[in-house]
Amino acid sequence: MSEHVITQVANGAGIITLDRPKALNSLSLDMVRALTAALLAWRDDSAVAAVVIRSSSEKAFCAGGDIRFFHEVGNATPQGGSALLEDFFTEEYALNHLIHYYPKPYIALMDGVVMGGGMGISQGGPGCGVRIVTDRTKMAMPEVNIGLFPDVGGSHFLSHAPGSLGRYLGLTGLTVGAADALYVGLADYYVPEARWSALGELLQATPGAGLRDAIAAFAGAAGSAGAGVLETERAAIERHFAADSVAAIMASLAGDEGAFAQKALKAMQSRSPLMMCVTLELLNRGARMDVADCLRMERNLVRRNFEHGEVLEGVRALVIDKDNAPKWSPATLEDVTQEMVDAFFAPPWPAHAHPLRHL
């Protein structure tokens, strides 16, 4: 088990507390394994009727995977630790699948920063997910910012968002709040900060079997998150992000002098040109796939991404050296070819040997 994952069973509920506050609960391999072990143990335990996952800190639910670890072991030989990188993504994506199809209510308290891998461990599927956001929620799938792509099931939950909203989130990597999370369909309930402590009391006092209904009633009386930016700018999002290529999307944004369009364009201008193109292809393909196939596709892409090295350069520039000047390869969108994009989707394994073949 991990020192950063605290588990307990109380009043018919399995409670998971992420406790790595200095790293904003960034997921390590040990944390992924601890989460998986707890969920597997509780899945068939009649004493556990629901699961609650939360953070020990109001700053962040989970900021994603431990990207410093990615950089360290991604630059290592297998003897030096890069095999652990393979384990991390295989086990993380298997955990995402376990959560999506969990047979009991899976209640995620998405307070504070919820990004990347944090989305993967909060996005329970329609049969189990109870996703709660607050005034402090800062949600994003910012992987293109570090030369990666929206993974942890992002190829499924972003591609199944209404209209072009998933494309906007995946290609810009920009952060949204509670109202936008609800509007996109990445959250179920809003609880204002003033009612947060009362929600905690409700969770403690209510037996696990009654938690889903109790939360629905509580949130219904707690007030509305109002209209978010994405709802307000929906027409602009559809006008620009429905285009059939990254170049066309950016050209459309460039022709719009509005503040929203210019912010999106500026964000995309700093992202990896190759990984934006890969991301658009990923979302196009993911829209036709189920969760398991999406995760298998993402697992293929992770291997190809680290072989290429784009994510290693992105993490170096933003986190290690902090020069904020990644040397993307290719450096410009014009130099990205369809052959480069297609190479990321070429399976590294035959189907019978895929590390997620059993999902």
Active site residues: 65, 117, 143, 151
| Region for 187 from its dihedrals, namely left if φ exceeds 0, alpha if ψ lies in -120 to 50, beta otherwise | beta
Residue 279 corresponds to which tokens in the numbers above?
A: 């991301």
Q: Which residues, in sequence order, are CB contacts of 43 under 8 Å at separation 6+?
A: 102, 103, 104
Q: Taking the CB of residue 121, how many other CB atoms lie within 10 A of it?
A: 29
Residue 43 DSSP SS3? helix
- How far from the centroid of its chain's Cα atoms is residue 175's Cα? 12
H-state helical runs in 174-290? 178-184, 196-205, 211-222, 229-232, 234-241, 246-254, 259-270, 273-286
- Of the candidates 246, 118, 229, 244, the residue with the CA atom closest to the CA atom of residue 172: 246
As a whole number of Å, the end-to-end CA separation of the chain is: 23
Q: What angle do the packed helices 234-241 and 259-270 form, to 10 degrees?
A: 40
Q: How many CA atoms lie within 13 A of 302 on its CB side?
A: 28
Return phi, psi of residue 54, to 5°: -145, 180
Q: How far is CA 207 from CA 7, 13, 47, 197, in A?
A: 17, 7, 11, 18
Q: Which residues, in sequence order, are CB contacts of 229 under 8 Å at separation 6+?
A: 176, 177, 179, 180, 260
